[in-house]
Every structure is written in C-alpha cells, then in structure tokens.
Amino acid sequence: MGLSATIALDQQNGGTYPFRFTWKAQLGLAYNNRGYMRYLAVDFDKAIEDYSHGLANNPKLPCTYYNRGLIHYRMGRFNEAVADMQACIQLDPNFEDAKMCLDQAIKDRNNAKQSKHRNS
C-alpha cells in the first residue's frame, strides 16, 4: 500500500494527514513508503527491513503490517505472514485485503505442513 492509499485510510479514520502524525509516526510512514518502493524493485529483504523500522517508529500503521506480511507470504514464510496480517486486522478490522491474505496464508501454511508430513 503506497502513500495515497495510506492518506485515504487516515482520512477514513478521521485524520488529517500529515498533521495528525507525530515525527515518529511520520518516520514510520516514510519507512513504509521506502519499503514499498523496494518491494516494487523486488528487493524484498530491504523492503522487510524498512517495514520493520517503520513499525518500530509507528506500530499503529496497519498498511505496514500488511505490506510486510505480503512479502513474507511471497517468500513462503507463512507464520510471519499470518502474524503480520493478524496485527493489521487488529488495527483495522475493515481491511478486506488483509483478511483475504490471512485466510490464504493460513491455508497455505496448513498445506505446507501436510505436505511435509506426507514426505517424511
């Protein structure tokens, strides 16, 4: 989720981006946005690093959990994807894309476990 979607989400929640954010919250958003650019450049490790720094500065941005969770999902790190999507939904229960991704990550995690047990 990029900057325009983040601003729209803030406005839906009654905010007045960027004035409502403290400097740490703005730093968290800046890391989120840089992480998104790195995601688009397929630099997943650096994107995760940025998203993690963003959450350290502003743990209340659901889009940052969602963005990091998408990368974990794409990398087959289903436990991490599930945890990030759950954190996202806890902050924003109406985040439909996160709900769909959470459901799929749980299914894929269960399938991976079943496949591993069959091959053992």
The total domain count for the chain is 1
Identify the band that residue 1 occupies on the pLDDT scale cut at 50, 70 and 90. low
State how far the alpha carbon of 41 is from the alpha carbons of 44, 49, 70, in Å: 8, 14, 15
pLDDT for residue 49? 98
For residue range 58-104, what is the model confidence (pLDDT) as tens digits? 999 999 999 999 999 999 999 999 999 999 999 999 999 999 999 99
59 three-class SS: coil
- CATH value at residue 53: 1.25.40.10
pLDDT (mean) for 97-119: 90
**Residue 63, domain extent:** 3-118
- Residue 14 φ/ψ region, left for φ over 0, alpha for ψ in the -120 to 50 degree band, beta for the rest: left
